[in-house]
Structure 1
Amino acid sequence: MALKKMLTTVGMSAAAVVTSFAVASPALAYDTSWKTDDGDPGGVVYWTANGDVVKICDIEADGWATSAQVFSVRPDGLRAFEYQFYVGGNGSCADRKASEGATFNLPEDRKVFINLCLMKDDWARLDYCDSGTVAQG
């Protein structure tokens, strides 16, 4: 009887551990990321094509916010502005995703260009920008 109880407890513990990994994994998955190009990066962007997720984080207590400007790249190679957003405060993150609506649901079969910058004074000053083009759809 004691052996049966011990095996049941071990089995339940193993199931709990496996379940916690299964739940945590999707939240950590992203296709690519990059940081601002200052000497001690203060911002990071994460891109996930599935769901058009753009997540930015302020990763340094430096008085700057992290901002992103998102463009789709048209078939003729020109960029079409889609949206911009920012987040401030060390450790703070914000994201935008297709499920939020038309503005954030990026056109399929296009590349996406994301400009990541540090921001001062409410869009008046963008600096330390780093950009990337990622695959979409």
Structure 2
Amino acid sequence: MEQIRKLKGGELFDLLRIVDKLDLDLAEIKELLFDNDDNVDVNDDKAVKERGVAIMDYFLKIILSKGETLRGPINELFAKLCNTTVEEIESLDYDVYLKLYSEFYQVLDLKAFFALLKLPVFQAS
């Protein structure tokens, strides 16, 4: 199995399908990702790490609470990104599977992705 590759444009729709299943609180995400940017010095490794931990904690809680709903779509996306099958992804050892999650968040530019969700077309009316 290959390492996880960078996302391509067409996979935006896979991500949107996953996001839809998450029932995310976009206001909370906006606060985590955007509202406090002025307060985090990008040269302060500790502050940047703390922000990253807060964001990952938020997503991990949601993913864990909706695991069965997300399992299929996430494994399908991982299979695409690793150029393999869903069956191979599901048969990975636990530590290798967790490493995929870690690599995924490194590949995905969360701020850019959720900036897209701020577009009017994605806003509830």
TM interval, shorter chain, is: under 0.3
TM-score by length of 1: 0.22
Structure 1 or 2, whichever has the larger Rg, is 1
Query: Of Structure 1 and Structure 2, which has the larger fraction of its residues in strand?
Result: 1
The TM-score, its normalising length taken from structure 2, stands at 0.23
